[in-house]
A and B are shown apart, each in its own frame.
Chain A
Amino acid sequence: MLSKELVAASTEPVILSLLSRGESYGYALIQEVKRLSGDKIEWTDGMIYPVLHRMEDEGWIASRWGEAENGRKRKYYSLKKDGKKALKRQREQWVTVSGVFKQLWKEQYV
């Protein structure tokens, strides 16, 4: 299981990355993160929504109410131009951190 701090720091870039694949909604985003992380990243389900709303406020993502296959209404989120820029910035930072670890741990033969 990942630490709370790391999960918190990665929430926005993870959401941005998932939405860069296409429109999605809160529940599906959570399920996708669980699947991709092998259940190692766990979000308190409801807490994704304040984050999504904040990102919408920032102008990174847009939302619309639509109808699901089962006829229920559902709120879909999609990435905006500013969101793509934010993702690019955040990606560069995470790649840098990841690159540092790769080199360090390679050198130490861990």
Chain B
Amino acid sequence: MFNLDQAIAEWRRRMLAAGIKTPVPLDELEAHLRDEIEQQAKSGLSEAEAFQVAVEEIGKAHPLQQEFKKVEKGHKIIRAIVLVFGWLAASCALAYSVVFWDFDWNFWSFSPEWNLKLIWAMLGVLVADAAIWFLAKASREKASRAVSLMFCVILAGFAVVWLRADERATGVFGGAREVPLWWRGWRTLLLCVPSVFWVWWRRRHSAQKRGSTRGSRPIHLD
């Protein structure tokens, strides 16, 4: 003899096993399932048949779980934390590389020359900038957006202060000769790159949001 409550309890177990969370969204799905069963039963199906049809209509557990996973808050928190640490690491790497570069060239005097240290510093700048490009692209939600803005402002502020400081001193690290403007400007530009990336991706995200028919985030149909 078919027992509806037992069948629904079994369906809930299958959903839970596939990773659908309770109470939300599983309770909401169960409410939907019960509505559909009621509707199917009204159209003349037996309780068992109505249950079967309703289960098929609601969809398979795994694809459903995959869709829910994309909007889960826990998942989003982890993503935001990863992004925040990513920004911290990339900003530190960029600042360190630029300082290292400057340190190598200006510690005692301004005497640029190609050496291994310089190549390391340049590589550091490139890697940090590449990382920041992707981080700026990924920082869409409020938390990582706010933190990334903070890092960009700190780096840009650092860049501006540093540009001015060199006018008075004869080099950040007490060099004997004055550091030329082109070098100071170049250093400032490097530190402003994250802000440029940030603004670029904010504009892109805003434009996408404004024009969002958002067909790229579909309701999947099996």
Please list the residues of chain A having a beta carbon within 8 angstroms of any beta carbon in chain B: 4-5, 7-13, 25-27, 42-51, 53-54, 57, 68, 70, 72-75, 86, 89-90, 93-94
Query: In the complex, are the beta carbons of A46 and B59 less than 8 A apart?
Result: yes
Given that A47-B64, A53-B25 are contacting pairs, would A8 and B218 also be in contact in the complex, using a CB cutoff of 8 Å?
yes
Q: Distance in Å from the Cβ of A41 to the closest Cβ of chain B?
A: 10
Q: For the complex, count residues of B whose C-beta is within 8 A of A.
A: 31
Query: In the complex, are the beta carbons of B59 and A45 less than 8 A apart?
Result: yes
Q: Which of B48-70 contact A (CB under 8 A)?
A: 57-59, 63-64, 67-68, 70
A70 and B38 CA atoms in complex are apart in Å by 11
Given that A43-B221, A54-B71 are contacting pairs, would A49 and B28 also be in contact in the complex, using a CB cutoff of 8 Å?
yes
A72 and B213 CA atoms in complex are apart in Å by 34
A46 and B59 CA atoms in complex are apart in Å by 6
Residue of B nearest to A15 (CB): B219
Q: Which residues on the A side are within 8 Å of B27 (C-beta)?
A: 73, 75
Interface of B is mostly: helix
Return the contact of B219 from the options A11, A27, A73 (Cβ within 8 A): A11
Query: In the complex, are the beta carbons of A13 and B213 less than 8 A apart?
Result: yes
Residue of A nearest to B215 (CB): A9
Q: Distance in Å from the Cβ of A48 to the closest Cβ of chain B?
A: 7
Interface of A is mostly: helix
Report, nearest first, the 7 A-B pairs whose CB atoms are least far apart: A9-B215, A8-B218, A50-B67, A46-B59, A27-B35, A46-B58, A44-B59
Q: Distance in Å from the Cβ of B15 to the closest Cβ of chain A?
A: 9
A51 and B217 CA atoms in complex are apart in Å by 9
Residue pairs across A and B with Cβ atoms less than 8 A apart, 11 shown, are A8-B217, A9-B213, A9-B215, A11-B218, A27-B32, A46-B58, A49-B28, A54-B70, A70-B38, A89-B212, A94-B213
A49 and B78 CA atoms in complex are apart in Å by 22
B164 in contact (CB, < 8 A): no
B122 in contact (CB, < 8 A): no
A74 and B33 CA atoms in complex are apart in Å by 11
Q: Which residues on the A side are within 8 Å of B57 (C-beta)?
A: 44-45
Query: In the complex, are the beta carbons of B36 and A45 less than 8 A apart?
Result: yes
Q: Distance in Å from the Cβ of B105 to the closest Cβ of chain A?
A: 48
Q: Which residues on the B side are within 8 Å of A86 (C-beta)?
A: 212
Q: Which of B190-222 contact A (CB under 8 A)?
A: 210-215, 217-222
